[in-house]
Amino acid sequence: MKFLDEAKVYVRSGDGGNGCVAFRREKFIEHGGPSGGNGGRGGDVVVEAVDGLNTLIDYRYQQHFKAKSGTNGMGKDRHGAGSDDVVLKVPVGTQIFDEDKETLIADLTAAGQRVVLAQGGNGGFGNAHFKSSTNRTPRHANPGQEGQERWIWLRLKLIADAGLVGLPNAGKSTFLAAVSAAKPKIADYPFTTLNPQLGVMEIDGREFVLADIPGLIEGAHEGSGLGDRFLGHIERCRVLLHLVDGTGEHAGEDYRTVRAELEAYGQGLADKHEIVALSKIDAMTPEQIKQQAARLKRAARKTPLMLSAHARSGVPEVLRALAQVIDSASEAANPRKGEDAPAWQA
């Protein structure tokens, strides 16, 4: 299945049905009076977040969604039927923007969340609605209200506990494949990862989700390489794992390049907790490891972890470090966790 994280969609709700003008005509019943029914309500257009989806590819092939109009009212006090809603199913983590791509309408972060994008028009009143002691034979009815229409943008931001960042060929996909059941493409040339990948990690009985995005190069915020359009998928992460290729020319300079792109992108990525690891140490001599680790430590101002995803060296230590930060963030978000909760929270 192809990955698509942005789509433009047109939605239109249904019109309300028209009210009916009718009079009761029955044998042996004199002056039967008005009997026109009301029109039915038009269908709404609803967006719902569901499990089991991780792409917006369905909205590449269909961009127009229109709900049906309500049925018109009829004589003998028969009201028109309301129309069914049109439901757009999207992955969890989808944001809905107005046509200007700046006004946020909704952010669906949990399965089952729904938002009404366009409300169906109300049905018009039939003439039976207007009868009164002073107006016993009303001869008018209301037309149904028109539905709403709008263009919207759907933008997917994957929900993961941790995110992988680094230059192309820093070993991100190899690490993801080594610690999860994900099968990203791995090759010895840049930009083998063209779309974000998700994997479920497990360490000491604790599971969390890790997101791998295409590598960043200098000038990514200006569109170089694949640009920074995929950075949105790690905005929700609680911690970033920054992998630096130890076989590169200068580990410190490589680290600064990626950090500069994160800062240029903004959205709080540069302020997230970061774990730095020197990767591919299985292809380095002890002297090279010492030299590159020293360079990386000066640039990052913290001691990097040593990692070789291919040889499975240092992998448990990295996973435990990620799990510790994720657990700390969860406790900070839920300070009462572990305490006796009041009855209304039980």
Q: Are 216 and 166 in contact (CB under 8 A)?
A: yes
> What is the tens place of the pLDDT at every residue in 170-202?
888 888 888 887 676 666 656 666 667 778 888
Write the CATH number for 145. 2.70.210.12
pLDDT value of position 204? 83
Q: What is the mean predicted confidence (pLDDT) over 256-275?
A: 87
Q: Is residue 130 located within the same domain as residue 210?
A: no
pLDDT value of position 125? 95
Q: Is residue 40 located within the same domain as residue 170?
A: no
Q: Among the three residues 156, 176, 206, which one is the final residue of a domain in this structure?
A: 156
Q: Is residue 180 located within the same domain as residue 296?
A: yes
Residue 340 lies in a domain: no
Confidence check: pLDDT of 313 > 80: yes
Q: Is residue 17 located within the same domain as residue 108?
A: yes
Residue 324 lies in a domain: yes
> Contacts for 182-191 with beta carbons within 8 Å, 24 or more apart?
182/212, 184/212, 190/215, 190/217, 190/225, 191/215, 191/225, 191/226
> Which domain does 233 fall in, by range?
162-333
Q: Is residue 182 located within the same domain as residue 147?
A: no
Q: Which two tokens stand for residue 246?
A: 């130890």
Q: What is the mean predicted confidence (pLDDT) over 36-60?
A: 92
Rounded Cα distance, 78 and 20, in Å = 9
Residues of the chain above pLDDT 90, percent: 38
Residue 314 lies in a domain: yes
Task: Report which of 260, 76, 43, 91 is spatially closest to residue 167, judged by C-alpha positions.
Answer: 260
Question: What is the chain's mean pLDDT, rounded?
Answer: 85
Q: Is residue 201 located within the same domain as residue 297?
A: yes
Q: Is residue 121 located within the same domain as residue 248?
A: no
Highest mean pLDDT among 46-60, 222-236, 319-333: 46-60
Residue 345 lies in a domain: no
- The total of structural domains in the chain comes to 2
Rounded Cα distance, 260 and 66, in Å = 45
Q: Is residue 103 located within the same domain as residue 132?
A: yes
Q: Among the three residues 156, 182, 200, which one is the final residue of a domain in this structure?
A: 156
Q: What is the mean predicted confidence (pLDDT) over 289-302?
A: 91
Q: Is residue 179 located within the same domain as residue 69?
A: no
Q: Among the three residues 156, 175, 203, which one is the final residue of a domain in this structure?
A: 156
Task: Report which of 127, 122, 128 is spatially closest to residue 140, judged by C-alpha positions.
Answer: 127
Write the CATH number for 247. 3.40.50.300
Q: Is residue 72 located within the same domain as residue 127?
A: yes
Q: Is residue 43 located within the same domain as residue 63?
A: yes
Band (266; pLDDT cuts 50, 70, 90): confident
Cα–Cα separations (whole angstroms), residue 93 to 90, 98, 113:
9, 17, 10
Is the whole-model pTM more than 0.85?
no
Mean pLDDT check: name the lowest of 44-58, 158-172, 176-190.
Answer: 176-190
Which residues does residue 275 pair with via DSSP β-bridges, in sequence order? 241
Sign of dihedral through CA atoms 310, 316, 317, 321?
positive
